[in-house]
Amino acid sequence: MAAVTADQTTQGQARGTAQATAGGPDGPAGADVAQQAAFDAAVAADERIEPRDWMPDAYRASLVRQMAQHAHSEIIGMQPEANWISRAPSLRRKAILMAKVQDEAGHGLYLYSAAETLGTSREEMLDKLHAGRQRYSSIFNYPTLTWADVGAIGWLVDGAAITNQVPLCRCSYGPYARAMVRICKEESFHQRQGYELLLTLGRGTPGQRAMAQDAVNRWWWPSLMMFGPPDDASAHSAQSMTWKIKRHSNDELRQRFVDICVPQAEALGLTLPDPDLRWNEERGHHDFGAIDWTEFQEVLKGNGPCNEQRLTQRRRAHEEGAWVRDAAASYALKHPAPTRHAHAPAHITEAPHTEMHQAEMHTPPNAEATA
Amino acid sequence: MTAALALGDDALVLSHRLGEWAGHAPVLEEEVALANIALDLLGQARVLLSLAGDEDELAFLREERAFRNVQLVEQPNGDFAHTIARQLYFSVYQRGLYEQLAAGGGDFAGLAAKAVKEVAYHQDHATHWTLRLGDGTEESHQRMQRGVDALWRFTGELFQPVEGVEIDWPSLHTDWLATVTGVLQQATLTVPTGPGSGAWTAGAGRQGIHTEPFGRMLAEMQHLHRSHPGASW
């Protein structure tokens, strides 16, 4: 599902600095000048910054915050859709939905791994999420009330996420950019599946059409908010753009998204709930109505319909799983890895990953991550 | 087709139960792994049910008494150890069953040959977790033992011959017992001595007699589909 959103890239810029710089390979002050110059030149030349390269503390902190929030969004984002797995109305849809929710867990895995290259551990990031000290995308604080919401999330929320994320494939930080290439491929698949789900409902019974329209009515405005505050209110965007973490402004991406959705809504036979939405010949774009930023701020502050529910479920799963993780760590100590890996089938990637991460979770970040 | 329904319902129902873990797993890798297993089983279920009729009509419009899955797979997830015990018992059974079916060359040989590769992973996953939990901490050991004990009584039914499934049932049972015993012992767990195969039961899943939680599971699974008669999804 949707993950990084502009509300993450512009809020709470200072968060995570201390932890992110703890492992930073900062040299003496004199050397910093030359290193800074090399870093600036690399960014200017569109070269990738890699984990072992010198980078400014603030760049590292900004990346940790954004990547952690992106990862958190993936795993919190599993909840609203998993809500419908047990009620999916056909076996084909059930398989598609389960696979999608599984993809989100997978995205969470590679994003946490990418963030770990900056010297923070997954456990640390999860602790911060659970303590409310790192965010996830606000969009997941809205409920999935009907089956059509699954389609609306795919079409609109994943659509907005892709609009935000495709430029991240060219992000200056190598591990993040590479993770995004793979994630974007899967997200665009999810977006098409959501669109196709709504298309089927739109061509269905009156009850199915009403369900689809209702879902689009509820998800349209929150999807537009995913691009974050308007440019003139987005204080930190400029720095992220200089660093080439971010490449387009919030309003620019929002406009792109609206222009893509309007003809798609027509093809679906659905109405977008905005009386002010119309084509502006002069601008060559669609004009659209004012966004309710009060709602955005309220949801961000924790007052959305599901903030409490999402975080509570996440904390509970983590707390209730503590004994399982402890058992895995304890077993790993008693039985060194080589013998345990001997029987893992080669065609499955999950099994060995599980074991390795189990073992790592209770040990300090490895040398590479903190180097 | 009794056989396709029996095997298809096993896969369908277990897949549904595993799907209930989504968003609740103890660690992110298990979100991926449990969903992976659930998807494999759902794929098997769709092939098998399609041999017996329309997959969606069979899944969403049958009453509880018409389902032919064993009671083991419908048991609620419980804690992670309980789920792993269910996975161990079922995956060892399903692997033995599919290996014989694949070798037998009958109606299910093609499906079984493909599915047995998936099921080998399911068994590997369940085995590794049984070892970790059984031989992990004291708490995990106790929880794993409880799961193993609680579900043992549902394992006897696995070896009641299913009409149309032409395999050597006694050897399936013998092999299953040897494998499960080996894993449990290696995991420092006690092999249950309670009622197993051959114990008296008041009918069971293969005859359409299910346990109480199954009706609720179906109510949830079938509700949306049944609410829109004749709709396409």
Q: How confident is the model at residue A237 (pLDDT cuts 50, 70, 90)?
A: confident
A313-337, pLDDT tens digit by residue? 999 999 999 999 999 999 999 998 7
B195-205, pLDDT tens digit by residue? 555 555 656 89
B123-154, pLDDT tens digit by residue? 999 999 999 999 999 999 999 999 999 999 89
Q: Which residues of B touch A88 (CB under 8 A)?
A: 224
- pLDDT given for residue A184 in this prediction: 93
CATH of the domain at B63: 1.20.1260.10
pTM of the model: 0.89
Q: At residue A286, what are phi and psi to the nearest 5 degrees?
A: -85, 135
Q: Would B232 be classed as within a structural domain?
A: no
Record the tokens describing residue A332, joined without a space: 């790993």
Q: Which residues of A touch B228 (CB under 8 A)?
A: 89, 205, 207-208
Q: Would B153 be classed as within a structural domain?
A: yes
Domain count, chain B: 1
Q: Does the structure show a pLDDT above 70 at A345?
A: no
- pLDDT given for residue B196 in this prediction: 58
> Are A90 and B22 inside 8 Å of each other by CB?
no
Record the tokens describing residue A356, joined without a space: 């390795």
Exposure string for A264-273, b = 16+ CB within 10 A, e = fewer: bbeebebebe
Residue A98 in contact with partner chain B when CB distance is under 8 A: yes
Residue B91 C-alpha, separation from nearest chain A C-alpha, in angstroms: 15
Query: CA A354, CA A105: separation in Å to the nearest integer?
Result: 13
- Terminal-residue alpha carbon distance, chain B: 26
CB contacts < 8 A (A, B): 178
Q: Does the structure show a pLDDT above 70 at A347?
A: no
| Mean pLDDT across chain A | 86
Q: Would B233 be classed as within a structural domain?
A: no
- pLDDT given for residue A245 in this prediction: 83
| Mean pLDDT across chain B | 95
Residue B124 C-alpha, separation from nearest chain A C-alpha, in angstroms: 7
Q: Which residues of B touch A325 (CB under 8 A)?
A: 26-27
Residue A108 C-alpha, separation from nearest chain B C-alpha, in angstroms: 8
Alpha-carbon separation of residue B98 from B51, B114, B172 (angstroms): 16, 9, 10
Residue A255 C-alpha, separation from nearest chain B C-alpha, in angstroms: 32
Q: CA nearest B126 in A: which residue?
A: A351
For residues A182-200, average pLDDT: 95
> What's B190's DSSP letter?
P
For residues A177-198, average pLDDT: 94
> Are A85 and B20 inside 8 Å of each other by CB?
yes
Q: Are B159 and B169 in contact (CB under 8 A)?
A: yes
Least confident span in A7-11, A31-35, A232-236, B55-59: A7-11
B172-196, pLDDT tens digit by residue? 999 999 999 999 999 999 999 865 5
Q: Which of A225, A93, A217, A219 is nearest to A156 (CA)?
A: A219
Residue A359 in contact with partner chain B when CB distance is under 8 A: no
Least confident span in A231-235, A261-265, B42-46: A231-235
Least confident span in A140-154, A180-194, B190-204: B190-204
Q: How confident is the model at residue A239 (pLDDT cuts 50, 70, 90)?
A: confident
- pLDDT given for residue A28 in this prediction: 52
A256-311, pLDDT tens digit by residue? 999 999 999 999 999 999 999 999 999 999 999 999 999 999 999 999 999 999 99
Residue A358 in contact with partner chain B when CB distance is under 8 A: yes
- What percent of chain B is predicted at pLDDT more than 90? 91
Residue A322 in contact with partner chain B when CB distance is under 8 A: yes
> Are A98 and B224 inside 8 Å of each other by CB?
no
Torsion of CA A215, A300, A157, A314, to 10 degrees: -90
Q: CA nearest B41 in A: which residue?
A: A95
For residues A30-49, average pLDDT: 91
Q: Are B111 and B44 in contact (CB under 8 A)?
A: yes
Q: Are A119 and A370 in contact (CB under 8 A)?
A: yes
Higher-confidence residue: A18 or B79? Answer: B79
Q: Does the structure show a pLDDT above 70 at A15?
A: no
Q: Would B38 be classed as within a structural domain?
A: yes
For residues A50-55, average pLDDT: 96
- pLDDT given for residue A244 in this prediction: 85
- What percent of chain A is predicted at pLDDT more than 70? 82
Query: CA A97, CA A102: separation in Å to the nearest integer?
Result: 8
Q: Does the structure show a pLDDT above 70 at A365?
A: no
**Would you list the DSSP string of B191-229?**
PP-SS-TTS--S--GGGT---HHHHHHHHHHHHHHHHST
Q: Does the structure show a pLDDT above 60 at A19?
A: no
At A296, is the secondary structure helix, strand, or coil? Answer: helix
Residue B139 in contact with partner chain A when CB distance is under 8 A: yes
B53-96, pLDDT tens digit by residue? 999 999 999 999 999 999 999 999 999 999 999 999 999 999 99
Query: CA A79, CA A189: separation in Å to the nearest integer?
Result: 19
Considering only CB atoms, B19 lies closest to which of A85, A313, A326, namely: A85
Q: Helical H runs in chain A?
A: 6-10, 17-22, 29-44, 57-76, 78-82, 91-116, 122-130, 147-152, 158-165, 174-202, 206-225, 237-242, 250-268, 293-298, 307-320, 322-334, 337-341, 350-361, 367-370
Considering only residues 144 to 183 of chain B, which have any Cβ-Cβ distance to chain A shorter than 8 Å?
none
For residues A223-247, average pLDDT: 86
Q: Which residues of B touch A108 (CB under 8 A)?
A: 28, 31
Domain that includes residue B220, residue range:
2-227
